[in-house]
Amino acid sequence: GGDVLTNALVNNVTNLTLLIGLPAIFWAMKAAPSDSGKPKKRSGGGDQQRVHKFSLLLTLTAALFFVGAVWLLGCDGNLNATDGWVLIGIFLFWQSFHVFEVLKSNARQNKSLGWMLPVNLALLGMGAYATFVSTDWLVAWLGNIHSGFVSAKHVGWLSGWLMVLPNAILAVYYGWRRKPEVVYSSQVGDGHICVPLCIGVFAVQHAIAVPAMFQLGTYILVGAIALHMFFVAVFGQLPRFVGILLVVAYGVFVYRGFGN
């Protein structure tokens, strides 16, 4: 159980520190126009950018609540089945909010969901099954290795890094293409699945003992999310020095995590 929580924390901390910090260092991470300074005449594109900005802030706020919920439920040293159902319920509520937003938007524009929806859902299911099979193979393989860095002792870390690889490719590619909104949405959105859903699903079946790096991981997550919210809300971008701070924070997380 502790490996599942470690996996989720490694995934989320990597997404919100390293994979956003590096694009901020090497490329501009301007998520939206700044609200500071003199008011300017708004164009249609500017309005759309502001919509993206508020959507991003809402997504970051949700991530903050998700991490806070896991931290509060895990304060007693474990996550039981009741805690798991709470986390699953929070996730389903958040997803239902998005579904109704899409339905409202389609109703305003007189659009339907489209015939591709079942196809997309089928492809999503196939991808989920492939992920399950590959992860199950990885865990079984590592279970037979009892020494060294690549071993059962580090299965939570290794599986977390493996699952974050697709996001790393997206972060580098869209950072290079100067599309920070995609970098943000891919990293933060993926975090909503690990925390709270993945943790909740496992906790419903088996109690999770909170690992030693739990407190450090949640503190870094809360700090990173708060930084993102502040700089996106006030300046509309993530400065290079903040990107450096995020990468350093990730280094501390890895160093202290393995130290424990």
Q: Which of 1, 120, 16 lies closest to 63, judged by CA?
A: 16
pTM here is 0.87
Q: Which pLDDT score, from 0 to 100, does residue 254 have?
A: 94
Is residue 260 very low, low, confident or very high in pLDDT (cuts 50, 70, 90)? Answer: low
Question: Higher-confidence residue: 81 or 98?
Answer: 81
Domain of 74, CATH number, reads: 1.20.1420.30
Rounded to the nearest integer, the mean pLDDT of the chain is 87
Question: Encoding tokens for residue 252?
Answer: 């501390």
Q: Which residue has the higher pLDDT, 34 or 169?
A: 169
**Given this model, what pLDDT does residue 112 score?**
78
State which of 25-34, 38-47, 88-97, 102-111 shows the largest mean pLDDT. 88-97
Which string of DSSP letters, residue by residue, matches 22-66?
A: HHHHHS--B-S--S-SS--PPPHHHHHHHHHHHHHHHHHHHHHHH
Structure-token pair, residue 82: 């009741």
Structural domain that includes position 192: 2-259
- The count of domains in the chain is 1
What pLDDT score does 41 carry?
52
In angstroms, the CA 124 to CA 126 distance is 5
Torsional sign, CA 127, 4, 56, 168:
negative
Percent of residues, the chain, with pLDDT higher than 70: 93
Closest CA to 183 of 228, 233, 120, 230: 228
User: Average of pLDDT values for 238-242?
Assistant: 92
Question: pLDDT tens, 174-209?
Answer: 999 888 888 988 898 887 888 899 999 999 999 999
